[in-house]
């Protein structure tokens, strides 16, 4: 199993926690376009923007893209399947995105490789056993977390690390 | 085994075909369908961009002619989307046309179904001399072919 990244979004569309296990993308895309110079040419006919365009994008841009994406996908799913339908995950040729939303509209998103079963219940556990225990119940943490204040504390980080190595299916 | 619906989205994001085979999805107006198709088109492009790893090159077939190699390897966008009530299988052709198949979450063999639908599309839509590309698909034979195929399966 390969984990690529993990994001928590609060109900105000802000990314309050993000963690990634992949090297920054600009290096990977530049090495790729160096290997195949013809791929950096232009925007393809079917709207797929080639990887070279991504060079200038930072992590926070990625967070915004991920949020916008899961937000729209969630809306699409509820529109098509009715109000009680929930968006669970999607898979592309390269990665899989898992999604879990709490009743308070917090969104937990994890990007992994494609061969993994749905991680929704594990994301639920991260919320219930780690986030609620170490962030919500922390008397020093604010109620909201603008800019991620109070989320990335030591206990939460360590708990997440242990959870990922011990609990997630390999 | 339930197949709910088939959408075909043109390379510019317009909905050119939509067909419901089985009730179970919300009733929407045709305007809503157009909007959903357009937004799906955009989201598909974003998912391709978000890819954390470079796309893997397919191993070339044994007997390769040199011009087969000139396709740039691109990250694929959404291939399967799962929700608690249904599953969307998305197949994008080399020319950017997207086929969306809405099925039950546990539907097996969607890939082969998709291939068959693509064949029907190639046979009855693309080979129809009265069909203009990028325009809504109105081909009776395609409709009938789909009906026969999906009903037999369903």
Residues with Cβ within 8 Å of residue A145, at least 6 apart in sequence: A10, A14, A16, A135, A151
Q: Which helix (H) or strand (E) holds A108?
A: strand A107-112
Residue A49 lies in a domain: no
pLDDT (0 to 100) of residue B89: 94
- pLDDT greater than 80 at residue B43: yes
- Give pLDDT, residue B84: 92
Q: Is B79 left (phi over 0), alpha (psi -120 to 50) or beta?
A: alpha
Q: What is the mean pLDDT of residues A44-52?
A: 44
- Site from A15, A29, A56, A90 to mutate, B interface, most B CB atoms within 10 angstroms: A90
In this structure, what DSSP letter does residue A161 have?
H
| Nearest CB to A90; choose among B80, B85, B92 | B80
What's phi and psi for B92, nearest 5 deg?
-110, 130
Query: Are B142 and B121 spatial neighbours (Cβ–Cβ below 8 Å)?
Result: yes
At residue B13, what are phi and psi to the nearest 5 degrees?
95, 5
Q: Which domains does chain B have, with CATH numbers?
A: 3-52+71-152 (3.30.450.70)
Within 85-144 of B, beta carbons closer than 8 Å to A belong to 85-86, 92, 95-96, 102
Total structural domains within chain A: 1
Is residue A75 assigned to a domain? yes
Domain that holds residue A113: 3-23+57-167
Residue A39 lies in a domain: no
- Per the confidence metrics, is the pTM higher than 0.90? no
Q: Are residues B25 and B7 in contact, defined by beta-carbon separation less than 8 angstroms?
A: no
Q: Is residue A111 part of a domain?
A: yes
For residue range B26-41, what is the model confidence (pLDDT) as tens digits? Answer: 888 999 999 999 999 9
pLDDT at residue B51, as a whole number: 86
What ipTM did this prediction achieve?
Answer: 0.85
pLDDT given at position A28? 41
Cβ contacts of B115 within 8 Å, gap of 6 or more: none
SS3 state at A101: strand
The pLDDT, as a whole number, for residue A72 is: 95
Q: Write the CATH number for A12.
A: 3.30.450.70
Q: What is the pLDDT of residue A35?
A: 40
- Evaluate whether residue A46 is within a structural domain: no
Residue A32 covered by a domain:
no
Yes or no: say if A125 and A110 are a contact pair by the CB < 8 Å rule: no
Residues 45-84 of A with CB under 8 A from B: 45-51, 53-54, 62, 65-66, 68-69, 72-73, 76-77, 79-82, 84
Q: Is B72 helix (H, G, I), strand (E, B) or coil?
A: coil
Domain for residue A13, yes or no? yes
pLDDT of B69 above 70: no
- Indicate whether A52 belongs to any domain: no
What integer pLDDT is reported at residue B62 of this predicted model?
57
Q: What is the pLDDT of residues A62-77, one digit of tens each?
A: 899 999 999 999 999 9
């Amino acid at each position: 199993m390969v984990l690529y990244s993990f994001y928590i979004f609060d109900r105000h569309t802000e990314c309050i926690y993000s963690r990634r296990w992949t090297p920054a993308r600009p290096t990977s895309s530049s090495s790729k376009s160096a290997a195949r110079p013809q791929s950096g040419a232009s925007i393809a006919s079917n709207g797929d923007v080639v990887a070279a365009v991504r060079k200038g994008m930072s992590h926070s841009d990625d967070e915004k893209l991920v949020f916008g994406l899961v937000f729209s996908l969630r809306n699409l799913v509820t529109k098509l399947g009715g109000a009680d339908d929930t968006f669970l995950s999607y898979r592309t040729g390269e990665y899989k995105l898992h999604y879990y939303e709490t009743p308070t509209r917090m969104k937990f998103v994890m990007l992994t490789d494609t061969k993994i079963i749905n991680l929704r219940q594990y994301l639920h556990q991260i919320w219930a056993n780690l986030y609620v225990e170490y962030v919500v119940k922390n008397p020093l943490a604010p109620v909201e977390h603008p800019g991620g204040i109070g989320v990335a504390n030591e206990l939460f980080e360590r708990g997440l690390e242990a959870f990922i190595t011990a609990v997630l299916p390999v | 085994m339930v197949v709910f619906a088939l959408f075909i989205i043109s390379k510019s994001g317009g909905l050119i075909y939509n067909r419901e085979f089985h009730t179970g999805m919300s009733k929407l107006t045709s305007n809503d369908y157009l909007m959903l198709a357009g937004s799906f088109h955009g989201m598909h492009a974003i998912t391709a961009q978000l890819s954390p790893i470079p796309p893997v090159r397919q191993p070339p077939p044994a007997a390769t002619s040199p011009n087969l190699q000139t396709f740039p390897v691109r990250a694929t966008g959404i291939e399967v989307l799962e929700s608690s009530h249904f599953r969307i299988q998305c197949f994008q052709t080399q020319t950017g046309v997207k086929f969306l198949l809405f099925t039950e979450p546990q539907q097996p063999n969607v890939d082969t179904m998709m291939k068959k639908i693509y064949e029907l599309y190639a046979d009855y839509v693309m080979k129809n001399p009265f069909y203009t590309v990028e325009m809504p698909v109105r081909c009776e034979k395609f409709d009938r072919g789909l009906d026969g195929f999906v009903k037999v399966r369903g």
